[in-house]
Structure 1
Amino acid sequence: MTRALVLFAHGARSAAWAVPFEKLRDLTQARLPEVQVRLGFLELMSPRLPELVAELATGGVTQVTVVPVFLGQGGHVMRDLPLMVEELRSSYPHIAINVVQAAGENAAVLNALSDYCVAALPF
Structure 2
Amino acid sequence: MSSTGKKAIVLFGHGARDPQWAEPMKRLQSILTAQLPDVQIELAFLELMAPSLPDTVDCMALGGTEYIQVVPIFFGKGGHLKNDFPVIMAEMKQKHPGLSIEATAAVGQWDAVWQAIATEIVQQVQ
- Following superposition, the deviation at residue 116 of structure 1 comes to 1.6
Amino acid at match of 1:18: A
Give the alignment of 1:1-123 within 5 angstroms. Answer: 2-121=6-125, 123=126
- Following superposition, the deviation at residue 7 of structure 1 comes to 0.5
Runs of at least 5 residues in structure 1 that lack an aligned partner in the other structure = none
Structure 2 CA distance, aligned partners of 1:47 and 1:94? 22
Structure 2 CA distance, aligned partners of 1:16 and 1:72? 21
TM-score when scaled to structure 1?
Answer: 0.95
* SS of match in other structure, 1:101: coil
* SS of match in other structure, 1:114: helix
Identity %: 40
- Following superposition, the deviation at residue 78 of structure 1 comes to 1.6
Deviations 1:37-82 (A, max 9, x none): 1101001111100100000000000110000011121111121111
Structure 2 CA distance, aligned partners of 1:77 and 1:120? 31
Q: Tell me which moved more, 21-30 or 69-78.
A: 69-78
TM-score when scaled to structure 2?
Answer: 0.93
Runs of at least 5 residues in structure 2 that lack an aligned partner in the other structure = none
Root mean square deviation of aligned Cα? 1.0
Aligned length in residues: 122
Structure 2 CA distance, aligned partners of 1:23 and 1:34? 18
Amino acid at match of 1:19: E
* SS of match in other structure, 2:101: strand
